[in-house]
Amino acid sequence: MKKILKKIIKFLLILLIFTNLVEGKQLNIPDKPKKIYPVNDYAGVLSHIQIQKLNERLIQYSKKTSTEILISIVRDLYGEDPNFLASKWGNKWHIGKKYKNNGIIILLSINDKKISIQNGYGIEPYLTDFTTRRIIQKIKPFLKKNLYYEAIDISIKEIFRIMKNEYINKENKKNHFSKWNLAFSISVFLIIFFFLCLCKKGIEPSSLNILFLTNILFKKKYSDNEDSFDGFGEGGNFGGGGSCENW
Q: pLDDT tens digit string along 96-150? A: 998 899 999 999 999 999 999 999 999 999 999 999 999 999 999 999 999 999 9
Residue 110 half-sphere exposure toward CB, CA atoms < 13 A: 15
Indicate whether 64 pLDDT > 60. Answer: yes
Nearest to 114 by CA among 149, 147, 74: 74
Start-end of H helices in the chain: 2-23, 48-65, 82-93, 129-144, 148-163, 170-200, 207-218
- The neighbour count for residue 131, using CB atoms within 10 Å, is 19
Indicate whether 232 pLDDT > 50. Answer: yes
The enclosing H or E element of 241 equals strand 238-246
Q: Please state whether the predicted TM-score (pTM) of the whole model is above 0.75.
A: no
Q: What is the pLDDT of residue 22?
A: 39
In order of 41, 123, 125, 191, 242, the CA distances from 84 in angstroms are: 19, 17, 20, 60, 10
Instruction: Return the higher-pLDDT residue of 74 and 214.
Output: 74
What backbone phi and psi angles, to 5 degrees, belong to 82?
A: -65, -35
Q: What is the pLDDT of residue 226?
A: 43
- Region of poorest pLDDT, from 94-108, 176-190, 228-242: 176-190
